Each structure stands twice: as structure tokens, then as C-alpha cells.
Amino acid sequence: MSHPNGPGVGTLPQRPTPPAQEASSAHPAAPIRRYSGLDGLRGTAALVVLVCHTFLVVPGLAFAYFTPERIVRGSLAWWATFSPLHVLWAGTEAVYLFFVLSGFVLTLPFLGKPRWAGYYPKRLLRLYLPTWGSMMLVLLWMAVLPRNFAPGDSLWLQAHPPVLPPESIASQFFLLPPGPMSGNSVLWTLRFEVLFSLLLPLVFYFAVKLPRLNLIKVIVLFGVMGYFAFAPFTLRFLLPMFGLGSIMAVERHRMVSVAKAIRSLRAGRLVWVGLSAVSLLLLGNAWTVAGLTSNPDILAVTQRWAGTLTVAGACIALFLAAEGSWRRPLEKPAVRWLGSRSFSLYLVHEPIVVSVAVLLGGNPGLVPALAVVVPVSLLAAELFYRVIEHPSQLLARAVGRRVDRSLAG
């Protein structure tokens, strides 16, 4: 996720765009504004990722997650993993939501008067400075609490090596492929955030040019994702998610119109409930599908499209948070606070989860793990935000403004 900010760490515009800029946007009737509900949505998604990784310290849940074909049907782990309840800890699906959010919030400011020169240093500093801070914390945690897991411990925990070789540290510091992000695995998403950030002018042009063809563009993007869903963690599968978010930003006036139409219906509340249910079911549908059959051939075909439907659920969630029934709950102060700290929470939580597992003997129960991990991670996120992320934001904005002014002068 950064929007994850967060994975999905797009910076929402801080104030409404002046009328002169609105007039140059694709749809002047839809002002460029801050979507506060998206802050809450991003924070909720970051919390889901935290819960997901905490669940994965439990050997039985990690076994079901990584070897679904070997799990006993009807067991507690099976129900937690392959029923719609999985949406409560659907970490990968939350990341897909972050990517759609990034496409949306990064596109919005450029629907006014684009200033691309200052965007690049601002965006890269915004991504890299917190990443470097998080990696320093990872190395500190590893030095204080060595990671030595036994064969009976969680498969997810065992994927965290006790020592990081220099080339792995360099890869994670600079978000460069190839190689696993074994120190802080969430950084794999930042690789794609960087790539999308560099490609934003092309994606923006794709979304804004010929707006009458946007429906066809959406169909094409979903088709591309479906075609490449057998390799789900590649740019060809993930980049269309950012593109969908960009198109939704261009078509934000349609979201307003649809929301107004739903509210005017007598059964409007039922429609909102139905859309919410559809969004949540689609977000978790890949795991529900995986629990329906153990036939590998059938499973391969169904999961190919299940991942694509997950992205459709993320798009519906964005609509519900921006203009629909999720907006007010997600604008509650506590949820918005979580959204403002979502990038920090995303970056710092995994080494905390792993370290807590070490302290609890490598094989903790779910309740004790959650009881320790959640409050410690939230506190760490607040400290990281104040010490690392917020100063990074201020520096990035100052550098971006300076570059824009120097070129304008």
C-alpha cells in the first residue's frame, strides 16, 4: 500500500486548486479537492497489512497461507484463510488498494497546472528518505534481537534471515531489483511506487488524453492484468492498477454523479450496503476461490481472474471512501490519524512483528502477538512520523518548490 501515505504514498493536495487552474483540468465542474476519506482508507489498509503479518507469525496460519493445497479443509486455519474472513488480514490485496490510491492522488494535482520539474525531486525524496530510516531501524532490530528461527516456527518467520549480506542491504536501501526484501519485505511495493512515480507523466497522458475513450482504457487495463495474472508481482500486472487510479481521478466528476444518484434512491442505503459487500468480497475473492477446489488446473485458471477482480474491489473501495458511504466513518479523527501515519506504520511494523516473535519464543499465539504488536507498532509509527517522515515531507516540499521557482524564473 501508499496511498499507502503508505505504499500508495501519493501526496494529496493540501488546498483546493485556484479557479484558474480548475479551468484547465479535464473536467472543470469537478474541483480538485482533498479527499479526506482516502486518508482513512489508506490507514485502514496499512492496519490490515500489520494484522496480516502478525497472523503470519502463527505457524498454522502461515502454513495455510504459503501451502494452501496441504491445509485440512474445515480446520480453523482453513476458515481463517479461505473464507471471506480473510479480508481482515488480506495484506497483498491491501497493497493493490495502495497502488490504485497512488494513481488517484498523484494524478489529482496535475489536473490543474502541471509542474513536472519539481515533482521528481519532491517525490523521490518523499519515498527514499523514510525508506532509509526504516532500513536503519531494521538493522538496529536485527543487531539487538538476532533472528534465529527453528524449523517448527512460522514459514514466514523462517524467511527472515539472521544476517543480511551487503548486496541485499544495498538493494533494499535503493529499492533496486532483483533480490528479496528479506530485511523488511514490505519494501518490494516501494520498488513499484518508484517506477510508477518515474512513469507518471506517461500514465497521466494516457488517462487524460481522449477522455471519451476512458471506458475502453479501463477494459484494456483489466485485460492486461488478467493476461499477466499468472505472474502477479510484475510491473505488467501492477502498473495497470496505478493507471486505473489515474483514470478515476480524471473521471472524479462521474463518481460525484453516481453518488448523488444513489442517494436520491429510496433504496439508496441498501445500494451502499450492497456495494460495500461487493467490494469486500472482491478484495478477498482470491482466497475464497482457492478454498473451493484442490484441483491445480482449475485453481490456476480461476485465480488468474480472481486477482483481477481484487483490483475491481479496490476501485469500488476508492469510490466508497471518496464519495460514498465509507466517507464519513473514514473521516473520523482516529481513522484519519491512522491514515496520516500509514506510511510510517507500513515501514516500521514488520521488524517489530518479527522481533516480538523472537521475544515470545518464535512460536507465539495469535492473541499475545496481536496484544503486543499492534500498540507497539502504532507507537513506533507515531515516533517515526515525527522524527523521520514529517521532516522528510517538509524537505521534499521545499526542494520541489525551489526547483519549480528556479525554472520559472
Residue 54 inside a domain? The answer is yes
Residue 8 forms part of a structural domain: no
Q: Domain count of the chain? A: 1
- Residue 131 within a domain: yes
Q: DSSP label at 388?
A: I
| Average pLDDT estimate for 293-310 | 73
Looking at residue 110, its amino acid is F
CA atoms within 13 A on the CB side of 58: 18
Return the sign of the alpha-carbon dihedral for residues 59, 65, 70, 76.
positive
Residues 192-245: tens digit of each pLDDT: 999 999 999 999 999 998 889 999 999 999 999 988 887 777 888 999 999 999
Range of the domain at 49: 19-153+182-408
In a domain, 112, yes or no: yes
Q: Burial level of 48, CB count in 10 A (0-12/13-18/19+)?
A: buried
In a domain, 253, yes or no: yes
Structure confidence by residue, pLDDT tens digits, 335-371: 999 999 999 999 999 999 999 999 988 888 889 999 9
Domain for residue 82, yes or no?
Answer: yes
In a domain, 32, yes or no: yes
What pLDDT, on the 0 to 100 scale, is given for residue 6? 41
Across the chain, what does the average pLDDT equal?
86
Q: How far apart are CA 195 and CA 385, in angstroms?
A: 24
Answer for the pair 327, 320: CB distance below 8 angstroms, yes or no. yes
Q: In terms of pTM, does the model score above 0.95?
A: no
The answer to whether residue 75 sits within a structural domain is yes
